[in-house]
Structure 1
Amino acid sequence: MRALVGLWRWRHNPLRRKTDLVEAWVALAALLLIAVAAPVAGTVVGGLTRDALLRSVREQREVRHAVSATVVQKVSRPPIDPDPETSSARDRNSRVLADWTAPDGTSRSGTVVAALESPDPGDRFRIWTDEHGQVVGRPLDSATAATHAALAGFGAAAAAVGIVEGTRRIVVWRMVRRRYDRWDQAWDKAGPDWGRTGTGS
């Protein structure tokens, strides 16, 4: 909006310098670029990220399987973590020795993290494994993928705005520096006696 006001103000003003008009045009170009480039960048990056993440969701769902595991015994906790954030997140889960059957039919056992506050032998809980029964992380779900894609789109749009605005500021800064240099040169030509009586002014 400032660019439009600047262009209108300098349109027929006799005090208008060429740099004033150029600065107003640069501001208008930046405004138009932000209005067009930011949404386009956000949409393209968000769409590409969404496609990639949804492809990853499909691939993970094909190779990761939810199986039921049975608690054999609770494993003693590691030493207390002094970081309250990590320890509080870990306190909701328990490390247990468990048995489970892999998707290929083989029996497996091992120490896993169970989403149980106070596990007892015989308690059942769900874990995710690969086709051979090795414990893996939970697969990414579609809602999380969509959220990450939206965040990537917003990030790309914000980056586009930042790049355009940063470029505009650099261009204007260089124009102002050039203007100051010209003023210095004009002042040097006028000399130190400018305005004094008898100096031919």
Structure 2
Amino acid sequence: MRSIAGLWRWRGNPLCRGTDRAEGWLALSAVLLIALATPAAAVWGGRAAHQALLETVRDQHRQRHQVWATVAETAPPPESDPEHGSGHRAAATWTAPDGRTHSGTVTTGRAAEPGDRLRVWTDARGELVPPPMDEATAVSHAVLAGAGTACVAAGLVEAARRLAVRRLLARRYARWEEEWARVGPDWGRADRAN
């Protein structure tokens, strides 16, 4: 608020150049745009991301199926295998939605014994796939997308303000150079012509 009062006070100051006023109005405009447009951009970006992610959730739930797998044999736990995570692995067989039997290595959250039954996710061909995204994950991703959109919007406003201020400074320096070229050669000379 103090900066707005300061801007108002500078309006009638004879030492205030036009570029100073323009710079002040640019700063005020940027603050207002960031305060008003950034939340609107966040809502818009979050909603757009939420709709797209909910469509992805629906697609994944249509395309992925949870089936029962029977453990055939257990594998020794990996020491540190980043590809398979920190869970236990077991060789298992399962029946795909099309009725064909498949086998492969599944990752379990607990140690499994031969004959244990586990729930796994497969696609229509019976290949193992990760579980589908749930709605809570979609919401958290949409919130992050909205926050990112807000940051980008604020950054664009600030970048535009800085670019405009840079052009104002270039104009100000060019005017100083013109004035100095006009006054400079006679500066300090007592016999200069009036």
**TM-score over 0.5 for the pair:** yes
**Take 2:80 and 2:57, find their aligned partners in 1: how far apart are those partners?**
35
Aligned to 1:54: 54
Deviations 1:10-53 (A, max 9, x none): 12212221111111111122122212221111111111110111
Aligned: 1:95 with 2:83: no
Q: Which residue of 2 aligns with 1:113?
A: 107
Q: Distance in 1 between matches of 2:127 and 2:175?
A: 72
Q: Which amino acid aligns with 2:36?
A: V
**Aligned equivalent of 2:181, options 162, 181, 188:** 188
Shift of 1:106: 2.8
The residue number in structure 2 matching 1:12 is 12
- Let me know the Cα RMSD of the aligned residues: 2.3
Please name the residue that 2:117 is paired with.
Answer: 124
Q: Does 1:27 align with 2:27?
A: yes
Residue 159 of structure 2 is aligned to residue 166 of structure 1:
yes
Structure 1 unaligned residues grouped into runs of 5+: none
Instruction: Please state how far the C-alpha of 1:97 moved relative to its aligned partner.
Output: 1.3
Matched-pair contact (CA < 8 Å) for 1:63–1:130: yes
Tell me if structure 2 keeps the 8 A contact 1:97–1:110: yes
CA shift at 1:78, angstroms?
7.2
Task: Describe the superposition over 1:134-157 as per-residue Cα deviations: whole angstroms up to 9, x where unpaired.
Answer: 211110000000001111011001
SS of aligned partner of 2:99 = coil
Residues 49-58 or 141-150, more deviating: 49-58
Give me the whole-angstrom Cα distance separating, in 2, the residues matched to 1:183 and 1:2: 30
Moved more, 92-101 or 42-51: 92-101
Q: State the one-letter code of the partner of 1:152.
A: A
CA gap of 1:149–1:61, structure 2 versus 1, over 3 A, is same
Aligned residue identity for 1:191: G
For structure 1, which segment, 144-153 or 33-42, has the greater mean C-alpha deviation from structure 2 after superposition?
A: 33-42
Q: Kindly indicate whether residue 60 of structure 2 is the aligned counterpart of residue 66 of structure 1.
A: no
- Pick from 143, 148, 168 the counterpart of residue 155 of structure 1: 148
Alignment of structure 1 residues 74-93 onto 2, 5 Å: 74-75=74-75, 86=82, 90=85, 92-93=86-87
Q: For 1:191, what is the secondary structure of its paired residue?
A: helix
Distance 1:130 1:48 in 2: 27
Q: Report Cα offsets for 1:129-182 as digits up to 9, x if no partner.
A: 123322111100000000011110110011000000111011011111211121
For the pair 1:136 / 2:129, whether they are aligned, the reply is: yes
- The percent identity for this pair of structures is 49
